[in-house]
A and B are shown apart, each in its own frame.
Chain A
Amino acid sequence: MNTMWRIMLALVFAVAISACKTTEPEPEVTPDTTDTAPVEVVDATTSAAPDPHDYTDSRNFDNSESLLSKRVIYFDFDKSDVKSEYRAIVAAHAAYVSSHGSARVTLEGHADERGTREYNIGLGERRGNAISGLLSAAGAMGSQLDTVSYGEERPVCRVSDENCWWQNRRVEIIYTAR
């Protein structure tokens, strides 16, 4: 009888826990383009490491020293102008795309959760077009560029505060062909 009561209590407890179980927001990881460079294999027989400032060299996509490895541009709330600190990154990609006719880029525009979903789809497109416009002005061809807006539908971070929101207001520069 004692055992039975213990089992019952344990189960009742389990029911209680399952009833009030909530999903904890997972700690989100910042989209990380800088820290995940592959370990450099020093091998004297292969060519030397690429010059990080040579933006026509596709090896620099994985070189954390090079601006080509940075492929996310962040924006202010309800804004689509490209801030000065990101201009050099965009220029690096413009140099690559304009020197590689086969390169194809999708500019994925995103917004944070504030405001309505449909307006944010408009805002995400405006951001994508801002980057697309800079790439075009620097020599990329229109046929190489595509803009898709996801609005607030694809956040990288799901907590309702600015710490999270700034990471979601972004354009991802995605190479579909290099």
Chain B
Amino acid sequence: MTNMMQKVIYALLFLVLSQVVQAKLEIEIIQGNASALPIAIIPMQWRSSDPRPETGVAEVVSSDLYRSGLFDPLDDQDMVDRPVDAESIRFGTWRLLKVDYVVIGHINDAPGGNGYDIIYQLFDVHTQERLLSQITTVGFGDLRFGSHRVADAIYEKLTGVPGAFATRIAYISAIGEGNNWNYQLFVADADGFNPQAVVGSPEPLLSPSWSPDGERLAYVSFEKGNSAIYVQNVATGQRELISSGKGINSAPAFSPDGRYLAMTLSYTGNPEIHIRDLATGQKRQLTQHWAIDTEPVWSPDSQWVYFTSDRGGKPQIYKVAAAGGKPTRITREGEYNARASISPNGKIIAVAHGRGNEYRIAVLDTDTGRMRILTPGVLDESPSFAPNGSMILYATREGQRGVLSAVSTDGNVRQRLILTEGDVREPAWSPVIR
């Protein structure tokens, strides 16, 4: 009995410890969508001689589709049938389960022996038509990322919009108390898995911005005692100091064509938007006004720069030709509109929209001029569009803790991403990674 008691104690101790160590991701749909498409992603047969991974491809695909809010994947325990090939799909059974789409597949060693092939097919249960039949080849360590690509293909086939699951997010985490803080810039898969610290500092870090190829991040670090802009290669960690002049060096933003970095500098005595040519290192001043001009972002065609300015008395979004010219005011509704993020089609502008002490994420439709508030928070900020325009990632609060949330651009679906411990903020969604 003593022996058994010891075992129980060890087991429970392990449970306690593992809770402390595994402070990782949870995603929770706060607000779903009643018209979500019912789909069954059948567990895929593992035909490789390697050990089967802990989380299967089908499981990752299911949870991606679920998180989008547009799909209602069948729970694994409700799968009465687990066909592997097309001939053994009994469509009648799936109709009875009220499933509209079925995905089957298997995983092989890739020919050449340097990874796996995910071989899968998507069927419409009602027409029995095969909608998709594909092979996704991935490296040995990339099965999760490959699964995200499968989810992307299914999402695109059924919604007409490319998926954004095989992408990454960058964010800042702050852990500490009193005068002792540790700031880290993290990069994680879009579902929050696989978080990797890119850089850490006892001084504040902020404003990560992706290069259009998804290989580099520009960010602001106070490690030298003042704000400074760095550009760092995510994979190699190699980094370059871009600007550390007198005053503010902040708010970096890569142009989508990859040629320029816009940023806020105040060495002239006042915060102005400057543009640095990344090939030559030359820079030019884009704005010239006594107001605070900051938070530059580019239009998808790299022709325009949107920025925040309080030249009208309160912070609002303005736009100016990247080649230079007279800025025009874009946001007119509300007393505080700042930190714009531009949708990939260039038509929708997400902002932090302030009213009194409440800051929410709002979207401005530039065709209709209509502004719509999407989130219920009190201190929501830093909106960042998914590269397919479907969702907006943003920073919000739970009590005194910063967390990340995402809301669909139509406001119908909202989810919460609980990442690691600490105060999490400043999310930036990566471009599509090829």
Contacts and interface: CB of A to CB of B under 8 A. Distances in A.
Interface of A: 1, 3-4, 7-8, 11-12, 14-15, 18-19, 22-23, 25-26, 78, 113-119, 121-123, 125-126, 129, 147-150, 153-154, 158-160
Given A1-B1, A114-B354, A116-B308, A121 B400 contact: no
Contacts of A22: 399
A173 B304 CA distance: 40
Interface of B: 1, 4-5, 8-9, 12-13, 15-16, 19-20, 177, 204, 206-207, 222, 225-227, 247-248, 250-251, 264, 266, 269, 271, 292, 294-295, 308, 310, 314-315, 336, 338-339, 352, 354, 357, 359, 378-379, 381-382, 397, 399-401, 425-426
10 contacts: A4-B5, A116-B315, A116-B339, A117-B381, A118-B206, A119-B292, A148-B226, A154-B204, A158-B400, A160-B378
Contacts of A160: 378-379, 397, 400
Contact of A7 (B9, B271, B379): B9
A100 B339 CA distance: 43
A119 B206 contact: no
Nearest to A129: B269
Given A7-B5, A125-B266, A116 B204 contact: no
B273 to A, nearest CB: 11
A118 B308 contact: yes
Nearest to A159: B400
Closest 7 pairs between A and B when the two form their complex, measured CB to CB: A122-B292, A153-B204, A11-B12, A116-B339, A116-B338, A4-B5, A122-B271
A153 B206 contact: yes
A80 to B, nearest CB: 10
Nearest to B291: A122
B378 A122 contact: no
A25 B282 CA distance: 47
A174 B107 CA distance: 63
A122 B264 contact: yes
Given A15-B19, A150-B204, A115 B338 contact: yes
Contacts of B247: 125, 147, 149
A118 B204 contact: no
B236 to A, nearest CB: 27
Contacts of B222: 150, 153
Nearest to B174: A153
Nearest to A19: B19
Given A119-B308, A149-B227, A160-B378, A4 B271 contact: no
Which residue, A4, A14, A25, A122, has most C-beta atoms of chain B within 10 A?
Answer: A122
A114 B381 CA distance: 9
Nearest to A162: B357
A154 B204 CA distance: 8
A4 B397 CA distance: 42
Contacts of A119: 292, 294-295, 308, 310, 315, 338-339
Given A119-B339, A149-B248, 6 more contacts: A11-B13, A116-B308, A116-B339, A117-B382, A119-B310, A160-B379
B248 A114 contact: no
Given A116-B295, A126-B292, A15 B400 contact: no
A109 to B, nearest CB: 10
A116 B382 contact: yes
Contacts of B336: 115
Contact of B12 (A8, A121, A129): A8
A15 B15 contact: yes
Given A119-B295, A119-B338, A114 B379 contact: yes
Which residue, B266, B359, B379, has most C-beta atoms of chain A within 10 A?
Answer: B266
A38 to B, nearest CB: 21
B12 A12 contact: yes
B204 A115 contact: no
A99 to B, nearest CB: 26
Contacts of A147: 247
Nearest to B381: A116
A15 B12 contact: yes
B426 A117 contact: yes
Contact of A118 (B15, B339, B379): B339
A118 B294 contact: yes
Contacts of B251: 118
Which residue, A114, A119, A129, A149, has most C-beta atoms of chain B within 10 A?
Answer: A119
Given A8-B12, A150-B204, A121 B177 contact: no
Which residue, A11, A123, A153, has most C-beta atoms of chain B within 10 A?
Answer: A153
A26 B177 contact: yes
Contacts of B19: 15, 18-19
Nearest to B399: A22
